[in-house]
Chain A
């Protein structure tokens, strides 16, 4: 067996084995369902520690938006049609923030008061396009 042919086989083995290992690692990583994003139900069932900044998201409950007169404080509730969580936020709301539209808040959750104090709000946008006429027809 010529030397350089042996080398070639080592190289191919080297590539094959390490790519197999990497595929195995990716799969085992995906099993590890980490939880970076909490829906109101997650917040109820297994609440994170309140000193950990987490992301909570859901639909803004119909007419649950209360604006404090003197300060910029805002209270509203987010729901995933199973449970609701009340959210307090101080600051400007993004222009796409509307009731029963999706929202993602980053902040701290206090299970005792079932209250989520957010320091950042991102508006979610519904995803698909529907021509104006069709949308009117649906309503």
Chain B
């Protein structure tokens, strides 16, 4: 369970959002809304510990500094994949796929249509295909908190369905998810509109 109190973040002394407070309970799906540049991505980065100089407090199961970090799955705009390595080589060393056996990953990759690209260099893949590599880790992982930044962007219809289905499974199985998306058809349990918190 994640509790956020009085969270505000300033970028070169201009406040993106000011004293934002909400709780993220298990099984909750929060969608962050707001105009571009209202700080949606920044909030996700703050929640997962990339950006540290925020005001306010974030406590995870009321252990204040999120000491053990391996309970968080972060999907950012950038894919963090090495271009000169193949898909399997990337997955071998990516921390997001540790603890998941290779067979499960291959299964998910096949489901997303990447079965015969396993040994091609990532640099030869399209943006959508690169995204699917990370999503295959997402499909197979079981963390308690997921922070997804535009999970469904440049995906084909079929893969979008698979991912949204998986999001629901994870919510039902008790994990909590905060995500940003311009998709309309995802029914979130709670919406947070960051424009309300802008200064």
Contact = CB atoms under 8 A, between A and B. Distances in A.
Q: Do A and B touch, yes or no (CB under 8 Å, in the complex)? A: yes
Interface string B53-71: 0000000000001011000
Contacts of A2: 65, 67
Interface string A1-26: 01110000000000000000000000
Interface string B14-57: 00000000000000000000000000000000000000000000
A7 B67 CA distance: 12
Question: Secondary structure of the A side of the interface?
Answer: helix
Nearest to A2: B67
Interface in A97-134: none
A66 to B, nearest CB: 71
Interface in B60-118: 65, 67-68
A25 B68 CA distance: 39
Contacts of A3: 67-68
Question: Secondary structure of the B side of the interface?
Answer: loop
Interface residues on B, range: under 10
Nearest to B67: A3
A3 B68 CA distance: 8
Contacts of B68: 3
A2 B65 CA distance: 10
A113 to B, nearest CB: 66
Contacts of A4: 65, 67
Interface string A77-94: 000000000000000000
Nearest to B63: A2
A3 B66 CA distance: 10
A2 B67 CA distance: 8
A4 B66 CA distance: 10
Nearest to A5: B67
Contacts of B65: 2, 4
A3 B70 CA distance: 13
A3 to B, nearest CB: 5
A4 B67 CA distance: 7
A68 B65 CA distance: 84
A6 B148 CA distance: 31
A2 B68 CA distance: 10
A4 B65 CA distance: 9
A100 B114 CA distance: 87
A18 B103 CA distance: 45
Nearest to A3: B67
6 contacts: A2-B65, A2-B67, A3-B67, A3-B68, A4-B65, A4-B67
The 6 closest A-B pairs by CB, nearest first: A3-B67, A2-B67, A4-B67, A4-B65, A3-B68, A2-B65
